[in-house]
Structure 1
């Protein structure tokens, strides 16, 4: 069943995540990055080179990981939020997605823009609907982009997929409890369990679902999951530090206690 994203839903996405609405039309636009341009090696190299300069990055590996982390955030906080909270899934084909920067945030945090706001809702089999949605999101959108980031910067695809996993777990384990509880929260988390436990590796271009291993990662005192692979953010430039869920932090603490 087809519908569209409503104004109230857009308002929610804008208030809690980084979603571009009609209210931003009067804002100055500093940059537009069309996701479709990243489906080629040349387009990806151009985007990475621009971001490398913008971030004043000293490590091309870190630039690649950083871009993957941003795309991971947007993939989870717009399409998957729409799917789980509103029973709607948008067209996430690269031709329909733009990243629009309307500020000069030095950490490069544009907003996610959907050109066509038409969505599809489940009819009978919700699991089949979710599976098709995830294949479109991961197989047809993120996997090809991650392939070019990997080939251009040599950053590991494990790191890139973990950059998505951290936001997936953050959304369902830490963010949703801010708004829901009890049976309602558990019902919403059924989507999460399907994505992590039942989705195979095909949409990711991998032998197995890369989100599965993250289930065994330790839960930190903050409630966040510790990363398995370092995202390399500490190598961005000389003033950079480890992120709060970096596995290096645990190892450094262990060495201090020897």
Structure 2
């Protein structure tokens, strides 16, 4: 039997740092996520976003779109690992909310229903179903649509999701005060990256996240970082002069311990 709850004030405050909002904005770039499953609407929306951020083409815009969308993954997975709660992640429950003159286009996520499903007694099975609902019925569908519509590589789009998952589990959740919660987050992360089958993520034979979890390395400034395997092309945006520190095209790294 499913045990239900709703987001409380403290949980809302925690999720605001990941771009959750409780307010709807009357902006041309505020849109129900469900609308973006229509290819014509999606392409028109990407064109509008591209103008806002100074993108040279739809492929670059698609990449930036997924980097922004990745915060939805952070919101959802934070709830699972930190609270043992699953929020309704269906497309028709969420909308992008964007400020009218946000040049960087940093949309926030508005949930029409903030109902939460608490973990069941068998958390392993509950977690597997929760992961599958999100990756197979949300992320996979969106990435497939974006790749089909813009011809952008699915590998780039999946890595744009992966880097934020790594940040959440390796940094954010490891700063929680409760050791038990930190351990649970590590277990969830290990399952997600190394144990979860490809079918959990959609129509895949191999886990599409695992390939990106490489060892961290040191750059010439002795900063420890994980170099991307693909380029996100954010450097092509108007006004951007530098590439990401983890860009595979520029990183001069040394293997750990050398």
Same fold (TM over 0.5): yes
Are 1:5 and 2:3 counterparts? no
**Partners in 1 of 2:207 and 2:164 — Cα distance?**
16
Q: What number of residue pairs does the alignment pair up?
A: 247
Alignment TM-score, normalising by the size of structure 2 = 0.88
Distance 1:227 1:181, change over 3 A: farther
Superposition map of 1:19-58 within 5 A: 19-21=20-22, 24=23, 29-30=26-27, 31-58=29-56
Other structure's SS at 1:120 match: strand
1:134 alignment partner in structure 2 = 131
CA contact (8 A) 2:216 2:224 kept: no
Distance 1:239 1:85, change over 3 A: closer
Structure 1 residue 115 displacement after superposition: 0.5
Per the alignment, residue 69 of structure 1 pairs with 67
Q: Does 1:157 align with 2:151?
A: no
Report the equivalent of 1:18. 19
Give runs of ≥4 in structure 1 deviating > 6 Å: none
CA distance in 1, matches of 2:160, 2:171: 16
Structure whose residues are more often helix by fraction = 1
Gaps of 5+ in 2: none
Q: Which moved more, 1:112-121 or 1:199-208?
A: 199-208
1:235 paired to 2:236: yes
Q: Give the 3 Å change call, closer, same or farther, for CA 183–95 of structure 1 in structure 2.
A: closer
Q: Is the 8 A contact 1:51 1:63 kept in 2?
A: yes
Separation (CA, whole Å) in 2 of partners of 1:66 and 1:124: 39
Displacement of 1:233: 1.2
1:1-258 matches, cutoff 5 A: 1-14=3-16, 16-21=17-22, 24=23, 29-30=26-27, 31-76=29-74, 78-102=75-99, 104-180=101-177, 182-202=179-199, 203-220=201-218, 222-237=223-238, 239-250=240-251
Partner SS for 2:213: helix
RMSD over aligned Cα atoms:
2.1
Q: Distance in 1 between matches of 2:202 and 2:243?
A: 27
- Alpha-carbon separation, structure 1, partners of 2:224 and 2:178: 16
Residues 17 and 238 from structure 1, CA distance in 2 versus in 1: closer, same or farther, beyond 3 angstroms? closer
Name the CA distance, whole Å, in 2 between partners of 1:145 and 1:218.
Answer: 29
Q: C-alpha deviations, 1:54-91, integer Å up to 9, x for none?
A: 11211322111001111122222x11111111111011
Check whether the contact 1:59–1:236 (CA below 8 A) recurs between aligned residues: no
